[in-house]
Structure 1
Amino acid sequence: MKNTLRLKLFVKSLLALVVFVQANVYAQPVIQWDKTIGGTNNDALSQVLQTADGGYILGGNSNSDAGGDKTENYRGGYDPDGNRNGDYWIVKIAADGTKQWDKTFGTVHDDQLNSMQQTADGGYILGGSSNSDYWIIKLDANGTKQWEKTYDKGSSEKLTVVRPTYDGGFILGGSSRIPPKPNDFPLADARYEFWIVKITADGTKLWEKALAQTFTLTCLNLTEDGGYIMGGYRGIQQSSGGYYLVKLAANGTQQWTRTVEGTGYAEIRDVQQTPDRGFILGGWSDQDAGGDQKEVSRGDYWIVKLNPDRDIEWENVIAVPEDENSNVREEFQKLAQSPDGGYLLLGNSREPAGGDKTENSINGSFDFWIVKIDAGGNVLWDKTIGGSEGEFAASISTTFDGGYILGSTSNSNAGYNKSADSKGGIDYWIVKLAPESSSLPSAPIRINAGGQAFTTATKKLFSADKYYSGINRISSVASGDILNTSNDVLYQSARCSPSFSYNVPVPNGEVTVYLHFAETYFGAPGKKGGKGSRQFHVNMEGVRKLTNYDIFDKAGRAMLATAEIFTVNVTDGMLNIDFLTGAADLPRISAIEVLPIPKLRTQTFTPEADAMVRGGTYQDQNFGLDPLMDVKNGHIELQRRSYLRFAIPGVQNIKSAKLRVYGHNHESSVAYVLAAGGVLDDTWTETGITYSNAPSILNAPKEARTSVRGEWAYAELDVTEFVKTQAAGDQVASFALNGAAQRMVFHTKENPSGFAPQLVIVTDITTNSVTRLGNDNQEASKTKTGLSSVIYPNPAKDHIMLEVSSGHTSEVDLELTNVAGSQFQLQRPVIEDNSTRLKVGLPGQLPAGMYLLKVQSSEFSEVLKVLVTE
């Protein structure tokens, strides 16, 4: 028994692990498309950005002649070893990755484009290095060169970043080599310093700054105050060095510096200001735990968050366990701030799964390694993307749709995540990621099991079959009328095999699950069998929901749609539905709907009018502005009723409505009944109503009654059904309060002490509220228009004109009753100049008063008020 128990526990743990992995995979954004763009030789991408027109601009270096995607020949010469130098190569693509144009800019020297940005005029600013100088080129929106400038400090300069500034100019950031001192050892490491240059919109230099000696600049970004934050590192030959930050004001004045370091070596690659005015730092680290770094790292991502005071808010080493036989590291490159406040980290890795990495590298080569962390630095998911050879990630940025655009250099042919072969040598490779799906869907999830995407008559989209696992087998019929539904397509295909599951990502909590079935084989025309031929089990979240379920038996015949509905509580972010073989044949499911439990909204309305009326000698007196209103039954002299009217515009999908009045039994502490009857005539006024002219009252149903005692309190009466009818009609609800033989007193809205009457309405505001598929025709008709039918003139005398709602698509029946429920015979309706307008004659000698007109069709019914005058 112990072995059996242990085995069961192991299986349960394994299933939990599978669910976790599936949930983690679901959280990753999917690849929407990828593009390989290259010439005949080698092309190395530096940056890709989305442009204002929704497309993308790609920039990097190329030594290719015209051919492939490149339209211009190579411009450069050769280095001392006979290798081709590079040119700037710019490519503009549309939103779907289609190439629009490309431009080559080069000299005889080695020209390395490292940075670019779109400018306010729709053009582009390009920044890089040529012949050891900064080389800046300004393009218009079509890629035509407008101007170019070089800037040098008299040594060897390498530009890293160019950014447009708030004043319309540009800031240039890079490094300049420091000339060796006379006593320096001849083989001493080269030393660099930050060199920052500010230029105007036409390239005129305004100022320059040399700072941070012994540091190489790797990143620079603007801050919200118009200044600049930049980061750098000491040369890798140094025994120690951390992330070094410098903050400049807009005019170049140094405001502060900050070093974040551990016990060994770390190299910052990106720094950005965060919405809280702190900073996020990203780079890689190779050092033991100590100092600002709390974990050991061996060439791993090291992410640090500073608060606005520049104190460390949190830091995290994101790592793959060290392989003692390998010196391969995870090469961090760039980060992007995600719309949800987290961060996306981009770098390269060729390590197997382990630690924070959940997927093996592809063929042991370098791939993209993307890691998503939340605002607190916790890993949410990671993703490995690559081809058959090596990819070297260079760029990541957010896109207008909430997704991401990734840029890299690749020498892979088609395969794995790459859809196209190399164009020759190495190429630009662009990958578009869809918006993240880490927020589990709260809208309905609908799946056409075994079939393709399908939209029902009521515009419900059922996605193509997904989220399934197990034995992959589909059962379908080419044709045949499925009764009880207008959506035959959903039932003509189904998932059907000995054992399969659906694992649907949903928010934790209760969901409603609709399983849609139709038996299309056993007992169908020309097929054998019937009841008992197919029997199977269904589990949800490990709990048996259906045992030996027989579709034929439940529906009553073959080719007839039916459904089962369940409420399921999900605690792990994944709804598990298991279909298992039972007493006969195979499980079969046609469609699945997973629906959120309705989201409810509570609205509290105060009356637009409230007033008491009294009988006897007071029958013609108005009490509408009194602070109190009374209720009492008995002799005419003692009769007191109270009226309330509420405007409820735009209220739909009512779940409940409660009338609340604050008061007490004025004559004793004994509980006496208070009732709220509906009033159909809303024309009464607060300052005009009296006992003599007060409108009639509908009988109060049982739920609209309550007891009132001697203590002051709110009495609550359920008036849901009456409010629903009024919300569907003129959107005004009137009530009259009746009582027993003892006087009850309630506050009016004029009472200076407060506690005014209330109508509390709870509505369902769930997006895309769901109805059974068998009623789709009805719901389609009702959703074509939000309008009810219209009556005019109203008040009426001998006839009414009825403008029938377009929701009624079949013949309508009309029924007229008074408020007491007595029915009256209408004259035969006459169709006017179009098919939706009817002239309806009222019965002769019809007494004046309020009447109800019921308009009934096979689609739906509605009740309209008709006020008849003499």
Structure 2
Amino acid sequence: MKAIRLTFLFMFISTIVSAQAPTIEWEKCFGGTSNDFGLDIIQTSDHGYIIAGITGSKDHDAVGNHSVFGGGFDAFVVKLSVTYTTEWIKCLGGSFDESANCILETSDHGFVVVGSAESIDGDVNDNHGDGGLFTKTFDGWVVKLDSSGEIEWKKCYGGTETDKLYKIISTHDGNYICIGNSNSIDGDIVNPEGVNKGWLLKIDSVGNIISSQVYGGNIQTRFYAITPTRDGGYLIAGEKIPGGFNVANAWFLKINEVGTVEWELDYGTINDIIFDVIQLSDGSFIAVGETLDTLTNIYTVGLVLKISESGLVQWRHQGTADYGRYTSVEVVSDNCFIVGGYSENVANNSSDFLLLKMSNIGNVIWEQYYGETGWEALYSFQQTVDQGFIITGATSYPWTGYHGRLDMWVVKLSPETGIVEHDPTLQFQVYPNPTQNILNLQINPALLNTPYKIYSITGQLALSGNLTSETMQLNIESFTEGIYILQIGNQTRKIVKF
């Protein structure tokens, strides 16, 4: 399979577009001679990168692996500089299996990692289970690292059965919300049914529990995705398994700030699962995951859903590969978003990283594959401050620094190039973008006295006012570095503060 395969599927009718999808700027493997995976990646405030995942290796980059029994996995955290040199690597765990599923940078330039822990030794000292000695049970696990990767605090959450955490987000009050699933009826869990339940855990900045809630009644449920909403609440998504059979519906739960359910959506009939969700500037949501292929009824393929702010499905898109999964999604412009995942060719026993650009009405703009003759799976990506992308997952192909079997693979992509837009509907310009302090606006006179709002990527209102002149300057010096959405009327622009 070619390293890069590009298919143009759609071109805007009202816009002249010559778009070239991102190309590889650099790539690098991490791990050892066993299996290693990158599960989450973010660009850090120093413009470097940090990757969270798991390692089954005990050599090369993973000489610190603690595992002795079971599958032998440690949580695996890799910090890279802006020039993609390795700054530090940490293996976190004990004698059994641990994972790092998601990572955030904290205000002190440290990091908080969320995952699961089975051990009762090494870096794990408060597990509610028996450490895998008799039963293979897990706790949810949160680890706070300083900027050098040293552990500041670590805590297990759950009960005596298996409990796992998959995602963590920061809240506007300086705390954290983690989501996952729980089987326990004791410890930190209030779950009288005792079956697999979607679990929401809120902790403070040092790991103390603020609240622990499970959802789903007597039906098996699991949470895999969460996004803050612009009203201060959250949309959580994952799967619901009615009747206890291994057949899932996509499940969405809109809650307010204190966890009260405002609406619920079950979608699909068989094997629909959601792995990531975001809110768009108009209040609607884009969710990505997998579904059973309606043509073959054999393999699962990637799934994209657009859902209204009140919980109605507006459109659906599914992939066309033999087997595929969409694992991550991110807004990139006012009318577009990028979906990440992987696509498999069953006959060739190979798969590739996949990025898919779509408009907010469900049209595919381009589809890009990254891979070779081996097996690659993309689990996480993020747009970078230079408008490119950083992605991670796993590969069996001997890319740069490959060690054997499956390695964590990190790939830096260029920005989209060759894009020239002439859209008569555009009524304002924003420059420079990215910017450090001042954002210049040039607007159509028809927009005078129209309100403007700037939202953070998590949906928090950062600045608002009215357009009082055809040329204006907005001071965003106080904003933290990152991606923001400027909304004027029914149009939006993505802006980047560096």
The normalised TM-score by structure 1 is: 0.42
2:282 corresponds to which residue?
276
Q: 1:102 aligns with which of 84, 89, 95?
A: 89
CA distance in structure 1 between the partners assigned to 2:408 and 2:247 by the alignment: 35
* % identical equivalent positions: 26
The one-letter amino acid paired with 1:247 is K
State the Cα distance separating 1:373 from its structure 2 match.
Answer: 0.7
Q: Do structure 1's residue 220 and structure 2's residue 226 form an aligned pair?
A: yes
| Alpha-carbon contact 1:297-1:319 (below 8 Å) kept | no
Relative to structure 1, the CA distance from residue 364 to residue 440 in structure 2 (aligned partners, 3 Å threshold; closer, same or farther) is farther
- Spell out the pairing of 1:320-359 with structure 2 (5 A cutoff): 320=321, 328-351=322-345
Q: Do structure 1's residue 45 and structure 2's residue 25 form an aligned pair?
A: no
CA distance in structure 1 between the partners assigned to 2:444 and 2:415 by the alignment: 33
The one-letter amino acid paired with 2:250 is Y
The one-letter amino acid paired with 1:214 is Q
State the Cα distance separating 1:40 from its structure 2 match.
Answer: 4.2
2:373 corresponds to which residue?
388
SS of the counterpart of 2:148?
coil
Structure holding more strand per residue: 2
| Alpha-carbon contact 2:336-2:358 (below 8 Å) kept | yes
| Alpha-carbon contact 1:388-1:413 (below 8 Å) kept | no
The one-letter amino acid paired with 2:68 is G
Once the two structures are superposed, residues 821-863 of structure 1 have per-residue CA deviations (whole angstroms, 9 ceiling, x without a partner) of: xxxxxxxxxxxxxxxxxxxxxxxxxxxxxxxxxxxxxxxxxxx
- Spell out the pairing of 1:44-443 with structure 2 (5 A cutoff): 44-67=37-60, 69-70=61-62, 72-79=63-70, 84-131=71-118, 132-177=138-183, 191-212=195-216, 213-235=219-241, 238=245, 240-261=247-268, 263-286=269-292, 288=294, 299-320=300-321, 328-351=322-345, 364-414=349-399, 420-437=400-417, 439-440=419-420
RCO greater where, 1 or 2, for CA within 8 Å and sep 6 or more? 2
| Alpha-carbon contact 1:264-1:287 (below 8 Å) kept | no
SS of the counterpart of 2:333?
coil
| Alpha-carbon contact 2:233-2:254 (below 8 Å) kept | yes
State the Cα distance separating 1:602 from its structure 2 match.
Answer: 13
Q: 2:24 aligns with which of 13, 19, 31?
A: 31
Once the two structures are superposed, residues 785-840 of structure 1 have per-residue CA deviations (whole angstroms, 9 ceiling, x without a partner) of: xxxxxxxxxxxxxxxxxxxxxxxxxxxxxxxxxxxxxxxxxxxxxxxxxxxxxxxx
CA distance in structure 2 between the partners assigned to 1:386 and 1:38 by the alignment: 18
State the Cα distance separating 1:102 from its structure 2 match.
Answer: 1.3
- Spell out the pairing of 1:292-691 with structure 2 (5 A cutoff): 299-320=300-321, 328-351=322-345, 364-414=349-399, 420-437=400-417, 439-440=419-420
CA distance in structure 2 between the partners assigned to 1:438 and 1:343 by the alignment: 18
| Alpha-carbon contact 1:387-1:413 (below 8 Å) kept | no
SS of the counterpart of 1:350?
strand
1:358 corresponds to which residue?
none
The one-letter amino acid paired with 1:338 is V
2:493 corresponds to which residue?
none
CA distance in structure 1 between the partners assigned to 2:65 and 2:184 by the alignment: 32
Once the two structures are superposed, residues 537-569 of structure 1 have per-residue CA deviations (whole angstroms, 9 ceiling, x without a partner) of: xxxxxxxxxxxxxxxxxxxxxxxxxxxxxxxxx
CA distance in structure 1 between the partners assigned to 2:35 and 2:196 by the alignment: 29
Relative to structure 1, the CA distance from residue 238 to residue 409 in structure 2 (aligned partners, 3 Å threshold; closer, same or farther) is same
The one-letter amino acid paired with 2:323 is R
State the Cα distance separating 1:107 from its structure 2 match.
Answer: 1.1
CA distance in structure 1 between the partners assigned to 2:240 and 2:403 by the alignment: 38
State the Cα distance separating 1:248 from its structure 2 match.
Answer: 2.0
2:459 corresponds to which residue?
none
| Worse-matched range after superposition: 298-307 or 139-148 | 298-307
Relative to structure 1, the CA distance from residue 421 to residue 235 in structure 2 (aligned partners, 3 Å threshold; closer, same or farther) is farther
CA distance in structure 1 between the partners assigned to 2:298 and 2:291 by the alignment: 6
State the Cα distance separating 1:425 from its structure 2 match.
Answer: 3.1
Give structure 1 regions of 4+ aligned residues with deviation exceeding 3 angstroms.
23-26, 234-241, 295-298
Once the two structures are superposed, residues 385-427 of structure 1 have per-residue CA deviations (whole angstroms, 9 ceiling, x without a partner) of: 113311111111111112211101112114xxxxx25123321
Relative to structure 1, the CA distance from residue 91 to residue 288 in structure 2 (aligned partners, 3 Å threshold; closer, same or farther) is closer
Once the two structures are superposed, residues 292-351 of structure 1 have per-residue CA deviations (whole angstroms, 9 ceiling, x without a partner) of: xxx99952222111122222232222324xxxxxxx411221112113431211121123
Structure 1 gap ranges (5+): 1-16, 180-189, 290-294, 321-327, 353-360, 415-419, 443-506, 509-600, 604-870
1:813 corresponds to which residue?
none
SS of the counterpart of 1:39?
coil
Structure 2 gap ranges (5+): 1-7, 119-137, 186-193, 425-442, 446-498
Structure holding more helix per residue: 1
Q: How many residues align?
A: 386
Please, what is the CA RMSD of the aligned residues? 3.2
The normalised TM-score by structure 2 is: 0.71
